[in-house]
């Protein structure tokens, strides 16, 4: 794709800045320690003074990436968060993802905006269901994966058993860059294989501060740790290639995964993770558009919206559209064009986000995440550009599996109710289905997982002062159809057709048997499986 020429100096600056960016997401099964690792990485980069996790969730401080009240109450992430900080000479863009499977749509959107993923594995549980589902999304997106075995300070599986499981279930070849010294539950430190040195850890302030670390030669480590060192090194020798610990080509091709050991809660092994990201994670690079062509990073500005979030500033009730910069230099105040509508607007209110905290940002480069405040026309998946038009692939909606009718508890607050539902739909918190028969006062909420309804209820009450009640519908699956199918399916027990906000018509069925009866009796009706299933 040809792009308008930039000055050589500007193009060189943009290319150099893109090379400095590392944009990645942390993925795992719930409770594997994603938000704790996010805090630990920020702590080691010296952008926060104290980590949020202390001695477990019963004594947990608020993490910088978990800012919604439900996240604080439950100790889980229910919304993705963007953090940017510098480490060494590199700009880290870390996108924390929701931990619960019910919020898979939000995680999927984040994975569309990153260049790499850190797969966090609980040392005691191995590869769990949600980890594998998210791994498959990464595979589909050709994202290189760095694997971190977390919680080595607790009793867990044998490291060689974990290596075998990763190989058998993912097809990736583990390439250990660090190896735990001491069995799971007796974490002494890590052998840094690239540097051939022992990093000996000591707990500091229950994990709220950077762990005390002493670096030793292998000979000194053997004298200090005795059998624990000897046994661990002997075990490592079965899988570690000390001459070539990392095959970058295999890593980028999705055939191998660098592997490290850590305890994020105690801040053990975290510096080694950061160093691996800086040294080996891919920088921002040209991204393909809808036609499959790539737009060079030095081309004029372009980016796409991967998330819209309201309620981050309770005082102003604003909402933020999160933009992944794909090419060029973003400059606050620049006039950009929205591909979907063809309309232009000025980016006057542009901010950099660190959890819930924000500050004005004047420039950003490929790989960065920019928060555009109160850009009310933007939707998830929208492309923005200057000069030469471009459109990046849409971020598809998931196939919903749970359906409930929403009604306002207080008829006098119908305006707040309607505004709240529209805002949550805008953010992608919930899918909203409507029909003439049901009317606007009783929209059908469609969700990937039932916890999404709890988020909707909570935010309708606290953010919009519009308490609501929900009534469960018996439907369990949906198919894409056409408006013409509505008349036919209105006479069928256990089926209904509703329109989604993106203009698609969804046929809902009580179960697979109800759908098969319709397919048998009305073979001419179009019923298409929704492309993106729950991951």
**Would you say 111 and 458 are in contact if contact means Cβ atoms under 8 Å apart?**
no
Q: Give the 3-state secondary structure of residue 310.
A: strand
**Three-state SS letters, 408-460:** ECCHHHHHHHHHHHHHHHHHCCCEEEECCCCCCCCCEEEECCCHHHHHHHHHH
Helix (H) or strand (E) holding 358: strand 357-360
* Apex 399 CA angle, 396 and 404, nearest 5: 125
Count CB-CB contacts under 10 A for residue 9.
Answer: 8
Q: Give the 3-state secondary structure of residue 122.
A: strand
State how far the Cα of 66 lies from the Cα of 76, in Å rounded to an integer: 8
φ, ψ (nearest 5 deg) of residue 277 = -60, -45
Structure tokens at 161: 């058993």
Please tell me the total number of residues recorded for the chain in this structure: 535
State how far the Cα of 411 lies from the Cα of 526, in Å rounded to an integer: 38
Count CB-CB contacts under 10 A for residue 230.
Answer: 13
State how far the Cα of 516 lies from the Cα of 246, in Å rounded to an integer: 51
* Apex 109 CA angle, 515 and 75, nearest 5: 95
**Would you say 35 and 66 are in contact if contact means Cβ atoms under 8 Å apart?**
yes
From the list 135, 103, 101, the residue with the least C-alpha distance to 26 is 135
> Is 100 within any annotated ligand binding site?
yes
> Is 96 within any annotated ligand binding site?
yes
Cβ-in-10-Å burial (0-12, 13-18, 19+) of 436 comes to exposed
State how far the Cα of 242 lies from the Cα of 246, in Å rounded to an integer: 9
Beta bridge partners of residue 357, listed in sequence order: 354
Q: How far is CA 74 from the centre of its chain?
A: 19
Q: Is the dihedral of CA 218, 269, 261, 20 positive or negative?
A: negative
From the list 34, 68, 41, 36, the residue with the least C-alpha distance to 54 is 36
Q: Give the 3-state secondary structure of residue 84.
A: strand
Q: Is the dihedral of CA 380, 381, 382, 387 positive or negative?
A: positive
From the list 209, 199, 151, 160, the residue with the least C-alpha distance to 178 is 199
Helix (H) or strand (E) holding 138: helix 129-140
**Would you say 429 and 455 are in contact if contact means Cβ atoms under 8 Å apart?**
yes
What does the buried/exposed string (b/e) look like for 121-139 if buried means 16 or more CB atoms within 10 Å of the residue's CB? bbbeebbeebbebbbebbe
> Is 99 within any annotated ligand binding site?
yes
> Is 97 within any annotated ligand binding site?
yes
Annotated binding residues:
96-100
Annotated binding residues for GTP:
96-100
């Amino acid at each position: 794709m040809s792009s308008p020429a930039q000055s050589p100096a500007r193009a060189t600056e943009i290319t150099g800045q893109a090379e400095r960016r590392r944009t990645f997401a942390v993925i795992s099964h719930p409770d594997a320690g994603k938000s704790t690792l996010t805090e630990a990485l920020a702590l080691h980069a010296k952008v926060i003074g104290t980590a949020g996790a202390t001695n477990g969730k019963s004594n947990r401080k608020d993490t910088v990436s978990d800012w919604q009240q439900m996240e604080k109450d439950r100790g889980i992430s229910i919304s993705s968060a963007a953090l940017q900080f510098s480490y060494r000479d590199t700009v880290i863009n870390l996108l924390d993802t929701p931990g619960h499977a019910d919020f898979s749509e939000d995680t999927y959107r984040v994975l569309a905006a990153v260049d790499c993923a850190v797969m966090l594995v609980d040392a005691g549980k191995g590869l769990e269901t949600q980890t594998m589902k998210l791994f498959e999304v990464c595979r589909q997106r050709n994202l290189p994966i760095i694997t971190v075995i977390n919680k080595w300070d607790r009793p867990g599986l044998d490291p060689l058993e974990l290596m075998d499981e990763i190989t058998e279930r993912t097809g990736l070849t583990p390439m250990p860059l660090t190896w735990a010294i001491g069995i799971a539950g007796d974490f002494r430190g890590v052998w840094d294989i690239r540097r051939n040195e022992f990093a000996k850890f000591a707990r500091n302030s229950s994990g709220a501060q950077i762990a005390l670390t002493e670096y030793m030669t292998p000979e000194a480590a053997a004298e200090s740790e005795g059998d624990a060192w000897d046994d661990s090194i002997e075990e490592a020798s079965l899988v570690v290639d000390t001459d070539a610990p990392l095959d970058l080509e295999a890593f980028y091709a999705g055939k191998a995964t660098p592997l490290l050991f850590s305890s994020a809660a105690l801040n053990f092994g975290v510096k080694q993770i950061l160093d691996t990201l800086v040294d080996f994670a891919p920088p921002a690079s040209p991204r393909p558009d809808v036609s499959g062509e790539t737009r060079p990073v030095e081309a004029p500005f372009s980016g796409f919206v991967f998330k819209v979030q309201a309620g981050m500033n309770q005082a102003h009730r604003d909402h933020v559209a999160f933009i992944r910069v794909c090419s060029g230099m973003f400059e606050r105040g620049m006039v950009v064009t929205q591909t979907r509508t063809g309309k232009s607007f000025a980016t006057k209110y542009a901010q950099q986000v660190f959890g819930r905290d924000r500050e004005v940002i004047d420039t950003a480069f490929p790989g960065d995440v920019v928060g555009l405040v109160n850009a009310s026309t933007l939707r998830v998946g929208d492309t923005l550009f200057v000069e030469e038009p471009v459109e990046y692939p849409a971020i598809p909606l998931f196939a919903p599996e749970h359906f409930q009718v929403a009604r306002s508890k207080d008829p006098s607050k119908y305006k707040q109710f309607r505004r709240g539902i529209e805002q949550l739909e805008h953010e992608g918190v919930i899918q909203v289905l409507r029909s003439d028969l049901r009317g606007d006062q009783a929209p059908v909420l469609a969700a990937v997982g039932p916890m999404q309804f709890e988020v909707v209820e909570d935010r309708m009450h606290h953010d919009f002062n519009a308490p609501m009640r929900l009534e469960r519908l018996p439907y369990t699956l949906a198919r894409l159809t056409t408006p013409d199918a509505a008349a036919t399916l209105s006479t069928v027990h256990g089926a209904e057709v509703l329109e989604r906000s993106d203009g698609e018509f969804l046929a809902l069925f009580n179960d697979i048997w109800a759908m098969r009866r319709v397919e048998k009796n009305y073979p001419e009706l179009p019923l298409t499986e929704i492309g993106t299933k729950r991951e």
